[in-house]
């Protein structure tokens, strides 16, 4: 690809990012930047391309406050610019697969019938996972790819984030009206701008030495 980022700038961006504890509640992410971050979510790769997710982008102040109360009182949901709730399709079924196939036919200008072999393969994989009891686990893995792509994308755009597993998913589902939709909350991520005095911004980042986590084979 032409016009790629210099490697040193990628590393600088990833070093710059940290899990923001205190966001600046007065700063909103500009529309153009936010649209790109939504695209990063939409474009996330997933197993067999199934995209087993919906991303809830919360900006309504009252909802953000309610989600804070379901986040063990961590303040990020309320204070950030855009709060993303990552939800995964439970018990992924033929309806979802057929929705994907219809979209594939539309984008590629082919008939759904021509995708019959792909459908059979996909349904077979899902059925095996369902029988093994690993279907939801498998799909949940995919949402963490989205989380990783989102945070890295935000970092290179100069947008701060805080990934949040310390939430109460069942309460989130209730607040967001997810019951009965087939989608359930897994994890969340706050996005926005660090508060200038967030002390964690200047706390040295702790990572194992490269030689302790990278093994050359």
Residues in contact with a second copy, counted by CB under 8 A, come to a total of 83
Asked if 21 is part of the footprint of a second copy (rule: CB under 8 A), the reply reads no
Q: Render the burial of 163-194: b for 16+ CB within 10 Å, e for the rest.
A: bbeebebeebbebbebeeebbbbbbbbbbbbb
Segment contacting a second copy by CB under 8 A, of 3-11, 20-28, 69-77: 3-11
Within 60-119, the residues that bind a second copy by CB under 8 A are 60, 63, 85, 99-100, 103-104, 107-108
Subset of residues 136 to 195 that bind a second copy, contact rule: CB under 8 A: 137, 140-142, 144-153, 156-158, 163, 165, 176, 187
Which phi-psi region, left, alpha or beta, contains residue 37 (left: φ > 0; alpha: ψ -120 to 50)?
alpha
Q: Identify which range of 20-28, 35-43, 69-77 contacts a second copy by CB under 8 A.
A: 35-43
Greatest C-alpha distance within the chain? 58
Candidates 20-28, 52-60, 73-81: pick the segment binding a second copy (CB under 8 A): 52-60
Span from 20-28, 70-78, 206-214 in contact with a second copy (CB under 8 A): 206-214
Do residues 71 and 168 touch, judged by C-beta distance below 8 A? yes
Contact 126, 150 (CB under 8 A): no
CB of 26 to a second copy, least distance (A): 18
Residues numbered 114-143 forming contacts with a second copy, rule: CB under 8 A: 137, 140-142
Distance CA 171, CA 133 (A): 25
Q: Which stretch binds a second copy (CB under 8 A): 20-28, 29-37, 72-80?
A: 29-37
Question: Which residue, 174, 146, 162, 133, is CA-closest to 88?
Answer: 146
Residue from 20, 53, 71, 80 binding a second copy (CB under 8 A): 53
Question: What's the CA gap between 105 and 119, in Å, rounded?
Answer: 12
Which letter, b or e, does each residue of 73-92 get, where b requires 16 or more Cβ atoms within 10 Å of its Cβ?
Answer: ebbbbbbbbbbbbbbbbbeb
List 26, 57, 65, 91, residue binding a second copy (CB under 8 A): 57
Shortest CB 155 distance to a second copy, Å: 8
- Min dist. Cβ of residue 167 to a second copy (A): 12
Tell me if 76 sits within 8 A of 164, measured CB to CB: yes
**In the complex, minimum distance from the CB of residue 35 to a second copy, in angstroms, rounded to a whole number:** 7
If the CB atoms of residues 135 and 146 are measured against a second copy, the closer one turns out to be: 146
């Amino acid at each position: 690809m032409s016009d790629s980022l210099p490697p040193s700038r990628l590393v600088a961006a990833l070093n710059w990012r940290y899990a923001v504890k205190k966001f600046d509640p007065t700063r909103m992410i500009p529309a153009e930047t936010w649209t790109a971050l939504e695209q990063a979510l939409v474009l996330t790769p997933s197993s067999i391309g199934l995209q087993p997710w919906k991303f809830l982008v919360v900006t309504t102040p009252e909802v953000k406050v309610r989600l804070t109360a379901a986040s063990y009182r961590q303040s990020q949901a309320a204070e950030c610019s855009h709060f993303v709730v990552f939800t995964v399709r439970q018990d992924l079924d033929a309806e979802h697969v057929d929705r994907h196939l219809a979209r594939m036919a539309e984008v590629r200008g082919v008939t759904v019938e021509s995708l019959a072999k792909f459908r059979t393969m996909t349904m077979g994989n899902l059925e095996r996972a369902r029988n093994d009891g690993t279907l939801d686990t498998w799909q949940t893995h995919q949402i963490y790819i989205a989380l990783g792509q989102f945070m890295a994308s935000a970092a290179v755009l100069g947008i701060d984030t805080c990934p949040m597993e310390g939430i109460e998913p069942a309460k989130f589902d209730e607040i967001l009206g997810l019951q009965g939709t087939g989608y359930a909350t897994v994890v969340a991520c706050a996005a926005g701008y660090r508060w200038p005095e967030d002390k964690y911004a200047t706390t040295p980042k702790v990572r194992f030495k490269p030689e302790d986590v990278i093994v050359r084979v």
